[in-house]
């Protein structure tokens, strides 16, 4: 460690305390490597602030010395956005100690939380107040609110409640100059100029560090009806989705699709997971209706719609959960996907979004694109079918992956083939995972020069020294 780095580390220790600064590589390895072990880099140190004011002080110290800053939450990114790369080692600012729930206002359907709060903790606190925070995803037991805001996380509730962006009322942000912007308004209507919070949602820490947020809450559903079905194919799934939307409207809260390859990975690699149906079908869909009415109307409504779909040949089998335990077991299958894929081999995760109507066409064309490179390669598919977000995952065994002469070129070719298909169908290559390190080349390929220029202008205005999460989100200027 050189002299400048040493003096900065000493200054951070003086500011935060010895236990809040990790400066030995053996102590901060978990902060410099992603949870799947695919991305790793070097850091100057890891700072663990306990307040917004401490975050601001860290930023000022780093700015004075021109040292990069990498904001970090639960480190659950799938695209390398939360760990260092091979550039100038940054100070990792991990926000896990900012974990207070500052205020819950049930009458206003809002709560103020700090960025280090784990998503599941926030969901539980909202439920105890008789409310719902609807952003839900497989990593909710470890991901943090600041990270979900910085990536505009989606998850399984987008069909009904929208992305994270749709569930944020206000933010508190430390800016690259060390100033603190207090935008913690809990208003639904505030027409006083630029709505600044939206600049930071999805910006992946490149414009500032989110330290607290006002979350939008919803009525807590008292009744759910959930089914696991085997649709004939993706086109049949789209038709069933349409029928459910017509019959149930806003009560339809989830419509998640998995193919047989993905189901097999879950059943094989995650303990205590069982197929809800007698056979492993080519396609599986998890459906949930939710309402505040505590009666069996939802179950009847769901059953009637599915029975009519079965009569029309749209599905071959279905099971409705009859207890809370069965409902939880069905959701556990869906939320086990990431764990299963990590254990199963090298899955090249993609994050495309297309109009719902063309999801079947996307799956067919993307399959052709992948198989033109590696014939018959297994492909795991898990889709937020209700909003058009398809995780299309070409999957290698570890042995086959390690035997490839150029793994990086193979991964790039696979992802490019899939992303080109999405782009050709008026879709996008990134729906909810963010850009991180993986998507920089795709940004340069698919974003227009005008749009990239606008983004670079914003970045230069907020962070002219390019110290906040450099090398993420934006490709270099032409």
pLDDT, tens digit, 9 for 90 and up, residues 96-114: 999 999 999 999 999 999 9
Q: In what order do the strands lie in the sheet with 180-183?
A: 101-105, 110-114, 209-216, 168-174, 180-183
Average pLDDT of 234-256? 97
The pLDDT, as a whole number, for residue 166 is 98
In whole angstroms, give the CA distance from residue 419 to residue 1. Answer: 41
Average pLDDT of 22-46? 88
Report the mean per-residue pLDDT for the chain: 95
- Please name the residue that has the structure tokens 């939360």: 82
Least confident of 162-171, 289-298, 379-388, 433-442: 289-298
Query: In the predicted model, is pLDDT for residue 295 greater than 90?
Result: no
Query: In the predicted model, is pLDDT for residue 2 greater than 80?
Result: no
The pLDDT, as a whole number, for residue 4 is 59
In whole angstroms, give the CA distance from residue 99 to residue 12. Answer: 20
- The radius of gyration computed from the CA coordinates of the chain, to the nearest angstrom, equals 23
The pLDDT, as a whole number, for residue 39 is 85
Tokens of 471: 């090398």
Q: Which residues of 159-196 are buried (b: 16+ CB within 10 A; e: fewer)?
A: bbbebbeebbbbbbbbbbebebeebbebeeeeeeeeee
pLDDT tens digits, one per residue of 48-98: 999 999 999 999 999 999 999 999 999 988 888 889 987 789 999 999 999
Compute how many other C-beta atoms are within 10 angstroms of the C-beta atom of residue 339: 17
With a CB cutoff of 8 Å and minimum separation 6, the contacts of 365 are 421, 424, 425
- Please name the residue that has the structure tokens 């933010």: 171
In whole angstroms, give the CA distance from residue 169 to residue 155. Answer: 19
Q: Please provide residue 4's backbone torsions phi and psi, each rounded to the nearest 5 degrees.
A: -60, -40
User: Which secondary-structure segment (H or E) carries 288?
Assistant: strand 283-291
- Please name the residue that has the structure tokens 């993307």: 366
The pLDDT, as a whole number, for residue 1 is 53
DSSP characters for 136-153?
A: --TTTTT-BHHHHHHTT-
The pLDDT, as a whole number, for residue 132 is 97
The pLDDT, as a whole number, for residue 38 is 86
Question: Tell me, what DSSP letter sits at residue 433?
Answer: S
Q: Please provide residue 370's backbone torsions phi and psi, each rounded to the nearest 5 degrees.
A: -65, -45
> Would you state the torsion angle of the CA atoms of residues 306, 311, 312, 314, taken in this order, to the nearest 10 degrees?
50
Distances (CA, A) of 102 to 99, 110, 122, 123, 261: 9, 11, 11, 14, 44
pLDDT tens digits, one per residue of 342-385: 999 999 999 999 999 999 999 999 999 999 999 999 999 999 99
- SS3 state of residue 230: strand
Name the β-bridge partners of 112: 103, 214
In whole angstroms, give the CA distance from residue 377 to residue 406. Answer: 17
- Percentage of the residues of the chain whose pLDDT score is greater than 70: 99
In whole angstroms, give the CA distance from residue 115 to residue 145. Answer: 5
pLDDT tens digits, one per residue of 261-282: 999 999 999 999 999 999 999 9
Instruction: List the domains of the chain with CATH numbers.
Output: 3-94 (3.30.43.10), 101-219 (3.30.465.10), 223-268+279-331 (3.30.70.2190), 345-436 (3.30.70.2740)
pLDDT tens digits, one per residue of 444-475: 999 999 999 999 999 999 999 999 999 999 99
The pLDDT, as a whole number, for residue 25 is 83
In whole angstroms, give the CA distance from residue 347 to residue 380. Answer: 8
């Amino acid at each position: 460690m050189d002299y400048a780095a040493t003096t900065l580390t000493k200054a951070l220790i003086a500011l935060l305390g010895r236990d809040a600064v990790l400066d030995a590589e053996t102590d901060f390895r978990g902060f410099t490597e992603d949870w799947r072990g695919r991305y790793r880099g070097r850091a100057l140190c890891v700072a663990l602030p306990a307040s917004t004011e401490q975050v601001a002080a860290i930023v000022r110290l780093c700015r004075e010395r021109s040292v990069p800053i990498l904001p970090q939450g639960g480190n659950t990114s799938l695209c390398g956005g939360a760990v260092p790369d091979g550039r100038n080692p940054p100070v990792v600012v991990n926000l896990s100690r900012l974990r207070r729930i500052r205020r819950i206002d049930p009458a206003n359907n809002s709560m103020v939380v700090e960025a280090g709060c784990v998503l599941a903790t926030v969901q539980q606190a909202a439920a105890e107040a008789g409310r719902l925070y609807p952003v839900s995803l497989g990593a909710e037991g470890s991901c943090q609110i600041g990270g979900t805001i910085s990536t505009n996380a989606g998850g399984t509730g987008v069909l009904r409640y929208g992305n994270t962006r749709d569930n944020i009322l206000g933010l508190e942000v430390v800016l690259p100059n060390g100033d603190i912007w207090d935008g913690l308004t809990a208003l639904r209507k505030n027409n006083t100029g630029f709505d600044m919070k939206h600049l930071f949602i999805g910006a992946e820490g490149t414009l500032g560090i989110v330290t607290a947020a006002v979350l939008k809450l919803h009525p807590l559903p008292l009744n759910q009806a959930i089914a696991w079905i085997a649709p004939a194919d993706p086109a049949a799934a789209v038709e069933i989705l349409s029928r459910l939307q017509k019959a149930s409207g806003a009560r339809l809260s989830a419509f998640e699709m998995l193919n047989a390859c993905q189901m097999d990975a879950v059943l094989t690699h995650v303990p205590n997971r069982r197929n809800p149906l007698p056979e492993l079908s080519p396609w599986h869909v998890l459906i949930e209706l939710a309402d505040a009415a505590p009666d069996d109307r939802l179950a009847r409504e769901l059953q009637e719609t599915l029975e009519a779909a079965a009569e029309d040949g749209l599905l071959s089998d279905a099971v409705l959960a009859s207890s809370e335990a069965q409902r939880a077991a069905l959701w556990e299958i869906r939320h086990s996907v990431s764990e299963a894929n990590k254990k199963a081999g090298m899955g090249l995760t993609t994050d495309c979004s297309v109009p719902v109507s063309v999801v079947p066409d996307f799956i067919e064309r993307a399959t052709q694109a992948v198989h033109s490179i590696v014939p018959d390669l297994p492909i795991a598919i898990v889709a937020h079918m209700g909003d058009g977000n398809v995780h299309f995952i070409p999957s290698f065994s570890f042995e086959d992956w390690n035997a490839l002469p150029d793994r990086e070129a193979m991964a790039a070719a696979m992802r490019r083939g899939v992303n080109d298909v999405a782009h050709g169908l008026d879709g996008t290559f990134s729906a909810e995972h963010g850009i991180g390190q993986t998507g920089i080349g795709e940004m340069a390929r698919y974003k227009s020069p005008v749009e990239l220029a606008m983004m670079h202008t914003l970045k230069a205005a907020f962070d002219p020294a390019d110290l906040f999460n450099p090398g993420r989100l934006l490709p270099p200027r032409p």
